[in-house]
Structure 1
């Protein structure tokens, strides 16, 4: 089997149809890049701002939580979600010098503790100019200052606030663990951190990636605060396999964040998770789930954002809370 550079085709459907999902990701194991990275960054930053306002500030300021925010980046690809989270935290802790990314400490990321010099995981993104970007990389993202009204539609009130991170306390840390059975080389190359080659099936069977540097949570607490799955959960096409995965994970994390370019997959409440109203930070009622939700901002791609879904640049983010916690 030969490896290739880049993503083969920018149309993922073409890649899947020609090579099959498994074979495609094996071919691009070391070079994969998600072409939707700018939108992924927008929705993750917008969500993290809302999370901080709703409960993060009380956890890390009022209660002075000792351990970091525990995150599983599941099916992590080349680390898009990890990079977004790290940059959000870095900018929130150091807003004046936000371009000088500081590596997480070895206590929050034990995989880095044995490295004397660790490359800047965001340097590659900053060094790429829009004119000279290669086919295997994405241009550095610069947020637009003004959003354009939707063509053929009415621009409504934006449901969620600005993307700029809030001021974070110095002791705020991220403890990110990543899994991906195919693109671990691409993840490590881009983030300088390990990615455990665990599949959806491995996680459904109860396997947990090792994290020797993190303190064990109490028995009543989840293993992770958040699981984020970006552009991957829809690849589990069997309802029984999706149920097995999600039900197992519902006993290991409080929040499930699904980032995707569409509304798939459908996650049923009997599978261990309840859909959340991100705006009010409450469980979504049936009227919103089945009545179309509230009306909100329509972006330039004619997609309407509601209280249940953050939408930026054709990328959607949905939130679920575990029924076990």
Structure 2
């Protein structure tokens, strides 16, 4: 494609958007785009999926696939996270842990001749865990509401992921070896679906829609409403991943904010009530490495 470049141009996405414009930037990096926040994306996706499976996973795997749309998929960060989580969960099922064997003990007379060694102190304990500094200057870990573990998934579980992005299909294919359909937000808002999906079907097309580092680019409120209203009839859950709290999704746009910890509608619940740091995790938001994940439930399904 003419005008394409290698890499992401500037590491600062604001600079890229300001210099080239959103559409032109993604055209330039269509085959080479990579999200520099991938480690944080992976952590929040894994923590969310484990919580979701705990609350909603019953019945999946018995002839029922977990259907996901990776919307504005970029180079496949969310798809890779979903696949890695699935693989890790199935390994947990097929490889139960075996009892740990104690190492052989030396005879007492040999033990008494060995020099004593100081107890091992993990490196994190010596330099302090990552987090804010306490009164004594030592780092204190930030509170985490959600586990990062992986559940044991049924071997018969089918993870059915379909991706859409109007620009980065080449980068998505290069990284995942999967097809990414070139559908824009406008296409989806107008009812266009990937091949093989019936726009008039009574059942939702997907269990969840994941949108990573993209929905805030839709800055026109009327366009955002049109997209969200249409998607509320296509999936039960909407997962938004971003480095900030944008965009604001109003309750009248087809989706209700979800309390991930209580697994119930958030209602008027604020972010924990008390004042928190911007990267603190709450019951309504999973935060890792400055990446935030929010969850919404469809009001139409």
TM-score normalised according to structure 1 size: 0.76
Judge conservation of contact 1:294–1:307 (CA < 8 Å) in 2.
no
Equivalent residue for 1:273? 255
The counterpart of 1:315, out of the listed 286, 291, 294, is 291
Alignment of 1:148-167 (within 5 A): 148-151=130-133, 155=141, 157-161=143-147, 163-167=148-152
For structure 2, the residue ranges without an aligned partner over 5 or more in a row are: 96-123
Moved more, 64-73 or 21-30: 64-73
Alignment of 1:29-108 (within 5 A): 29-56=30-57, 58-60=58-60, 65-95=62-92
Query: What whole-Å deviation, never above 9, does each CA across 1:70-127 have from its counterpart, x for those lacking one?
Result: 00000000000000000000010014999xxxxxxxxxxxxxxxxxxxxxxxxxxxxx
1:204 aligns to 2:204 (yes or no): no
- Inter-partner Cα distance in structure 2 for 1:303 and 1:22: 29
Equivalent residue for 1:187? 172
Equivalent residue for 2:103? none
Equivalent residue for 1:101? none
Judge conservation of contact 1:234–1:264 (CA < 8 Å) in 2.
yes
Aligned to 2:227, the other structure's residue is in SS state: helix
Judge conservation of contact 1:296–1:305 (CA < 8 Å) in 2.
no
Aligned to 1:150, the other structure's residue is in SS state: strand
Is the alpha carbon distance of 1:230 and 1:147 closer, same or farther for their aligned partners in structure 2, counting shifts above 3 Å?
A: farther
Displacement of 1:221 after TM fit?
2.8
Query: What whole-Å deviation, never above 9, does each CA across 1:270-310 have from its counterpart, x for those lacking one?
Result: 00000000001100021x1xx43356997xxx621110000
Judge conservation of contact 2:93–2:152 (CA < 8 Å) in 1.
no
Larger radius of gyration: 2
Is the alpha carbon distance of 1:97 and 1:217 closer, same or farther for their aligned partners in structure 2, counting shifts above 3 Å?
A: farther
Query: What whole-Å deviation, never above 9, does each CA across 1:125-163 have from its counterpart, x for those lacking one?
Result: xxxxxxxxxxxxxxxxxxx999523246965542111x1
Equivalent residue for 2:9? 8
Equivalent residue for 1:229? 211
- Inter-partner Cα distance in structure 2 for 1:294 and 1:48: 25
Displacement of 1:67 after TM fit?
2.9
TM-score normalised according to structure 2 size: 0.82
Judge conservation of contact 2:167–2:182 (CA < 8 Å) in 1.
yes
For structure 1, the residue ranges without an aligned partner over 5 or more in a row are: 99-143
- Inter-partner Cα distance in structure 2 for 1:255 and 1:243: 16
Aligned to 1:304, the other structure's residue is in SS state: coil
Displacement of 1:68 after TM fit?
1.2
Displacement of 1:218 after TM fit?
11
The counterpart of 1:172, out of the listed 142, 154, 157, is 157
Moved more, 89-98 or 5-14: 89-98
Equivalent residue for 1:304? 280
